[in-house]
Amino acid sequence: MHRFQLLLVLVLMGANAARAEWSVVVHTDVDSARETRVAYTENPDGYSLEVYLDSNGAIRSRFSTNKVEQRLSTSMCPTYQIDDRLISNRSINEARCLAERQWAEFVLGYVKEQKVESRALNAVKNGQAVTYRFILETGGYDETRFSLSGSSRALTAALGDLDVTAP
């Protein structure tokens, strides 16, 4: 009987770890005290991915490095690929990303009457994994991958219950 209980505990711990890949964190603007709910994940390579709704109704995705030795090139936006369906290095409407040495940010869509038309956001909510490929400040190349397991739940909690469609 003890073996069964131990096995059940291990299975439940594994299920919780898989669900916990994405979480919701709150960022507070120090100037305005405005709180923003952010869907957040971090991978074992030391990179993080955040998706949030800004004060103008834009849904933004921020890819960040926490590695001092691996700063991003600011001259070229990283490319992201969601499963085998979507490859892009642009924001919605073909706008360039915002790129700094530690992060790159993309606009995935705009909320209008609780609706969002965005292939990228739809793919993040329903995909399996997203891979980022990028040029480093040193001229080298790297790539990293994030699981999208639990992303739909975290995105709904952070952004609200939006009707997301892929045009």
Average pLDDT value for the chain? 87
pLDDT of residue 29: 80
Q: Is residue 110 part of a domain?
A: yes
Q: Is residue 14 part of a domain?
A: no
The rounded distance, in Å, linking the Cα atoms of 117 and 138 is 37
Q: Which residues contact 51 (CB under 8 A, 6 or more apart)?
A: 38, 39, 59, 60, 61, 62, 108, 121, 124, 155, 158, 159
pLDDT in tens, 4-47: 343 333 333 343 333 349 999 998 887 888 889 999 999 999 99
* CATH (domain of 64): 2.60.40.1880
Q: Is residue 103 part of a domain?
A: yes
What is the number of other CB atoms lying within 10 angstroms of the CB of residue 73? 18
The rounded distance, in Å, linking the Cα atoms of 102 and 160 is 28
Q: What is the model's pTM? A: 0.84
